[in-house]
Amino acid sequence: MTNKKTYVLTKELVLEFLSQHNLMSIATYGDFPWIATVYYTFDDHLNIYFLSDPSTLHVKQVLSNPNVAVSIADSHQGISSKKRGIQISGEAHQISQIAVIKHTLQLWKSALGVIDPTLTHKVATGKMFKITPKRIKLFDQNLFDVEDGKEPVLEM
């Protein structure tokens, strides 16, 4: 009989991973699938926030179909390195409450170091979106010694 370890994905592990990156790919679906790369920030509840221009295809698709998938990984990983990345599925919605927009905008600017006034203006003219995760899968071969595809999943 072999000794199998049980691996558990925790909120703290996800927060740690999210804090180490700032770009994500977001997949949307309208008449056809689309993917875009955006800067993000997050809160302690694992919600992810991104800012995008309302004229972009991914925003138009989110507004008609809130179901999204997200992928975050370090593109500098070597092919033979231990893999690290995260995959998330959930729902994205535009934030409309002024107090929440101000709070998330401050989170976004702080996390990304936005101090340039031209960037601040660009931030103010875009729309802020919140992704509420439903399923999170962290693949980190330094933490979890499992076969590909058997990584732990956190259901929300």
Residue 142 CA to residue 130 CA, distance in Å, equals 30
- Could you give the dihedral angle defined by the CA atoms of residues 50, 27, 96 and 133, in that order, rounded to the nearest 10 degrees? -80
CB 40 within 8 A of CB 86: no
Q: Which pair of structure tokens corresponds to residue 74?
A: 């370090």
Residue 3, pLDDT score: 44
Residue 11, pLDDT score: 95
Q: Which pair of structure tokens corresponds to residue 8?
A: 């558990």
pLDDT digits (tens, 9 = 90+) for 117-133: 665 555 556 688 999 99
pLDDT digits (tens, 9 = 90+) for 84-98: 999 999 999 998 777
Instruction: Report the pLDDT averaged over residues 65-86.
Output: 90
User: Where are the domains positioned within the chain?
Assistant: 11-49+57-94+131-155
Q: How confident is the model at residue 1 (pLDDT cuts 50, 70, 90)?
A: very low
Nearest partner of 90 among 128, 49, 136, judged by Cα: 136
Predicted confidence (pLDDT) at residue 66 exceeds the cutoff of 50: yes
Name the pTM for this structure.
0.85
Q: How confident is the model at residue 100 (pLDDT cuts 50, 70, 90)?
A: confident
CATH superfamily of domain region 11-49+57-94+131-155? Electron Transport, Fmn-binding Protein; Chain A (2.30.110.10)
pLDDT digits (tens, 9 = 90+) for 27-62: 999 999 999 999 999 999 999 999 898 899 999 999
Predicted confidence (pLDDT) at residue 151 exceeds the cutoff of 70: yes
Nearest partner of 70 among 105, 95, 37, judged by Cα: 37
